[in-house]
Amino acid sequence: MSIINKLVEIETSQGINIHNITPQIKDFITSSSIKNGQVLVFSRHTTTALAINENEVRLLEDIKVFLQKLAPESERYLHNDLHLRDVPEDEPINAHSHLMAMMLTTSEVIPIVDGQLALGTWQSVLFFELDGPRKRTVFLQISGERSGNN
Q: In whole angstroms, give the CA distance from residue 121 to residue 124.
A: 9
Q: For residue 7, count other CB atoms closer than 10 A to its CB.
A: 9
pLDDT average, residue stretch 19-48:
98
What's the whole-number mean pLDDT along residues 3-25? 97
State the pLDDT confidence band at 127, using cuts at 50, 70 and 90. Answer: very high
Distance from C-alpha of 60 to C-alpha of 25, rounded to nearest angstrom = 20
| Cβ atoms of 28 and 140 closer than 8 Å | yes
The per-residue pLDDT for range 36-84, each reduced to its tens digit, is 999 999 999 999 999 999 999 999 999 999 999 999 999 999 999 999 9
Which residue(s) pair with 34 in the sheet? 146
Alpha carbon distance 61, 25 (integer Å): 23
Which of 23, 26, 19 lies closest to 55, judged by CA? 19
Predicted local confidence at residue 110, as pLDDT: 98
Write down all domains in the chain, each with its CATH number in brackets.
2-75+90-145 (2.60.120.460)
- Give the residue ranges of DSSP H helices in 17-137: 22-32, 57-70, 95-103
